[in-house]
Amino acid sequence: MEKVELIEKKIKTVEDRHDSFAKTKCIPLHFEAREHVFMRVSPFWKVMRFGLKDKLTPRFIGSFEILENVGDVAYLLALPPYLSSIHNVFHVSLICQYIADESHILHPTEVQLEQGLSYVERPLKILDKKDKVLRNKCIPLVMS
């Protein structure tokens, strides 16, 4: 009986330790209506989304507004028209909270357009120049 009690005690300590580690990693997420969130695009590696594959695949896209809470762990998002083919209810594991920050806003520089709606890129400064030699030809490479 003593050995059985000792084994039960050790199993109990292992279970308690497991629960304590599991609870620290599992943070319950809850979002309110009118909040903005990012949407996880590819939850798995080697999945092609939005024409990009592997390392160049974006992890999250957005920000999208939450319209309402559907159940305990599902949310209805306001998706733009180009994502109209996707169902707009997502599990909480597929969304990530967006915290508004002014540094996230990109201000594009103005581009001088010519008559035919084209523009010419002109390098500001040549940083490095080298020639790449292939079997029977030489290709000049310029870093600007």
Is 43 a domain residue? Answer: yes
Is 62 a domain residue? Answer: yes
Give how far Cα 5 sits from Cα of 1, 2, 10, 11, 104, Å. Answer: 6, 5, 9, 10, 59
Is 74 a domain residue? Answer: yes
Predicted confidence at residue 43, as pLDDT, reads 57
pTM: 0.52
Predicted confidence at residue 6, as pLDDT, reads 96
Predicted confidence at residue 2, as pLDDT, reads 93
Predicted confidence at residue 25, as pLDDT, reads 62
pLDDT along the chain (144 residues), means of 10: 95 90 72 89 58 67 90 90 86 86 70 72 82 91 83
Is 73 a domain residue? Answer: yes
Give the chain's domain count: 1
Q: Which domain holds residue 50?
A: 36-101
